[in-house]
Every structure is written in C-alpha cells, then in structure tokens.
A = this chain, B = another copy of it.
Amino acid sequence: MTSALYDELIAKLRKAHVLGSVGDLLMWDEQVNLPAGSAELRGEQQAVIAQLHHAAISEARVGELVAGLEVGQDGPLDDDARTVVRWARRDHDRATKLPPEFVREKAEQGSRGFHAWAKARAASDFASYAPVLATNLELAKREAAYLGRGDSPYDYMLDKHDPGMSAAIIGPLFAELAEGLAPIVRTITSSGKTPRTLAPFPIEGQRTLLREVTERIGFDYTRGRMDVALHPFSIGSGADNRMTTRYDTPDPLDSLFSAIHEAGHGMYEQGLPREHYHTALGQAAGMGVHESQSRLWENQVGRSRGFWAFFEPRLRELFPTQLADVSSEELYLAINAVEPVVIRTASDEVTYNLHVILRFEIEQKLFSGELAVADLPAAWNATLQRLVGLTPTSDKEGVLQDVHWSDGSFGYFPSYTLGNMVAAQLWTTMVEAKVASDDDFARGDFSKVLDWLHANVHARGKRDTLLELVRRATGRELSPRYLLDYLRARYLPLYT
C-alpha cells in the first residue's frame, strides 16, 4: 500500500536498513580483511555507524509515524503494511525504551565480560567468571523491565531471538525431544560401529569443492561471496551476502559442511522478497527459522544418500589418494559420524540438541533464581551426565565452553534446536510431497527444494512467527517428532 505517512516511514526504514548494511560490511571486513594494526579505526567506524543506525530507528518522527499508522490516521492498513508497522514499532521501542546510560553500561559490561570469560576459560577458573554472570543476569532482567517484560525476563530473552517464543512453549517440546533422543543415542553408541577418520584434504581441493557444491544447491554468487575467516559466519541481506569458512580444521569435510550451512543462511536471505529488504516483509522471521534453513541444507540435504550419490565421484576426483582405500559405505558413515562429546560445537547432529536442552534448562533456573550462579558448574555437569552420559574433566570443557553468556546473550541457544526441529518438519513435508527426493539429488538437482523454501518460507518475510510459519508451511503444529523420525530413519540403519 502507499500513503503519505506510510511512504515516509518506508523511507526512514530504508535509511536505517542501509546503515545497518554498512555496519554488516564493516564487521565482515574486520573478520576477513582488516590489517592487525587497523583495529582502532575500525572500532571508531563501527561506533559512528552504530550510533547513526540507532539514531535513524529511534528518531522521534519514526515514533510519530508508527503511532499515526497504528490508529489508522492515514486510512486502514492492509496486511503487509500491518506487518511493516508492527515491526517498526518493535524496533523503535527497543531503540527508545532503553536509557542511553543502560545501553552504554551493557555494552561496557559485554566487553569486560568477554575478556573475563576468555581469561577464565583459559585458566578453567569459573570463580573469576561468576561475578560477570551475576551482573549479566541482572542487566538482562533490567532490560526486560525497561521493555515492559519485567515479570518474564527469560521469555523476553527468548522472544528477542524468536518472536513469540516462550519457555512455556519450548519446555514441553524439548522434554519430548530429550526423551526421544535417549534411546537413539543408546542404540548408536552401543552399536560398536566406529566411523573412519578421513585423511586431510589439500585446501585448494576443499575450496573448489565447496564452491561447486554451494553453487549447485543454489547459492547465487552474483549476490554473494565466500571468504576465509577464523570462525565461519554469514552476514548481509540477499542484496550482498558474505559468507566465510575455514580450511584448517582436523575434519577434512568441516569446511564443506560449514559452507553448506552458511549457504543455507545465505539462500534464505537471497530468497526473501528483494523489493522489501528494508522492511519486515523482506527480512528473516527470526533466529530459529534462519537456523532451520542452514540446518536443512547442511543435514537433511547435505548428509543424504542422494546428495552423496551425486557428489561422491567429484570428491574422489579431487582427493583420489586420500580416499583410495575408503569404500562408499565407509565414506557415508564418516559423513554421518555420531559420537557423544562434552563440547557442543564439536557435536554431531544427533547429540547436539541435548547440549542445547541442557543450556535451556539451566538458563530457566538461573532466571527463576532456582539455581545460584555459584552452583552452575555442578548443575552443568550433573545435567550433562543425565542427558549425554558424559562429565567434563574441567570447567573449561564444561560450563566455560560457550562465549554467549559472557556478553549477556541469554535465550540464544534454544533457537539452534528450534531450527533443527523446524528443518526436520519442513523436510518431512517436502519428502511427502516428493519435493525432496534422493533421485533428484542424485542427478544434482536441488532446485525443487529451494523453490519450495522460497515459496513457503522465504517469501513470508517476518509476516509469521516461527509457530505460524511451521503451521502454514507443513499443515501441522511444531513438534519434535519429525526430527526424531528423521534421525531414526537416517542413523539407525547406519548404526545397527
């Protein structure tokens, strides 16, 4: 729709979006290109752009426009306009309801917290980190209160990452998932099957492979790039999407799978409606949905029989000596290796979710006060033992392993497993509709999957919450049983 107020709002959102995209580029460049001695200038650049971005979205006129449109001052809003205005309200409130002193305090504490965490982790010294966590918790609660969610600060945190989400929704889903995962993990670990460790692959071949694979599944390199950084990530809208990977890890397939993962994020951004990148209609629905896109390509597609029927010959062409004595079945088992470990980021597709469930349980108890910060290490280890059957040998390998809480990013972890559940549920629907099929994959054709995701996920922008989107795309309520069914179908035949 178009009207004087609405058009003015759109112009302001466009400016804010463009400034955000400049901030993204500065961040990408910092990770990929920035000379070591140029960090100070980059810090100044980021501060100036962040301040201008904040000013653009918190501008009083934005508030007036949103308020006017909300009460129909410019005539009734159509559905799309309602979505745009609802999100402009949310972003404007977030930008204006937090006092500047609080924002500064939180940023400073985040920076201090990161360094305290890095030091504590290196020394496996939880005691030195405990006060940081206590302060971060306090700040998170104050932030929730400023936004009118003082009565439910953890839900506020969850909602920040996945709009509409709450512990009451996630709790039963994760409980059912944990219960279903236990026998799967038991079957696998008691199978006696041990995947082979593959010999290292030369970097040049890894680079060629991941470029071919990500291009073939549908990442549009005329609107994006792949570079090297310390940690893989992707950033930017579909107008200019920048992905990174790394080649120097012990697992020779790590660069490929992390690239497919990032390409999944990138294809979501590229699939959003191009003319709306600057409003909620052309932006990602939330972290859980974003993660569902990266996981679906990385796992459901990227570890499937059909996918490897197509790419195995090319893999052997690129790495003939490394794979000379590895049979096709051995290769496929190595690609789908499952082994419980104490580190979340080193975990396979099956046990990964148990690590997330642990963090969800603990975050709830920290916010409710049921668990004191000082008792965290013991609670962590007990929960890990219960869920995964392992106990870390030190806090470094336990409660200190993740960076997230150090700058106050609570409520972030659940999105990973929500994403896995959504991915499996979308996958089930696509398999049933013959949109996803090993036959197509084996011919190198992944277009039906991407087209379906474009139509059923990407095209929606932020119109739906995660739950609404799943309902609309799959015709069913979100449930962990699709993920459990998928894991059973894929892994049990391999580990019996």
Contacts and interface: CB of A to CB of B under 8 A. Distances in A.
B35 A225 contact: yes
A162 B263 CA distance: 49
5 contacts: A25-B26, A35-B223, A35-B240, A37-B220, A38-B239
Interface residues of A, number: 33
Contacts of A222: 35-37
A64 B219 CA distance: 52
Interface in A17-38: 18-19, 21-22, 25-26, 29, 33-38
Given A22-B48, A29-B29, A48-B18, A40 B225 contact: no
Contacts of A149: none
A120 interface: no
A277 B19 CA distance: 24
A229 to B, nearest CB: 14
A29 B25 contact: yes
A44 interface: yes
Contacts of A34: 240
Contacts of A18: 41, 44-45, 48
Contact of A33 (B38, B42, B44, B225): B225
A246 interface: no
Interface in A197-231: 220-225
Interface string A9-20: 000001100110
Interface in A228-258: 237, 239-240
A223 B14 CA distance: 33
A277 B224 CA distance: 33
Contacts of A29: 25, 29
3 A-B pairs with the lowest CB-CB distances in the bound complex, closest first: A38-B240, A37-B222, A41-B239
Interface string A36-66: 1110111011001100100000000000000
B41 A21 contact: yes
A114 B220 CA distance: 30
A240 B42 contact: yes
Given A22-B26, A35-B222, A38-B224, 10 more contacts: A15-B48, A18-B45, A19-B48, A22-B48, A25-B26, A33-B225, A35-B221, A37-B223, A41-B239, A41-B277
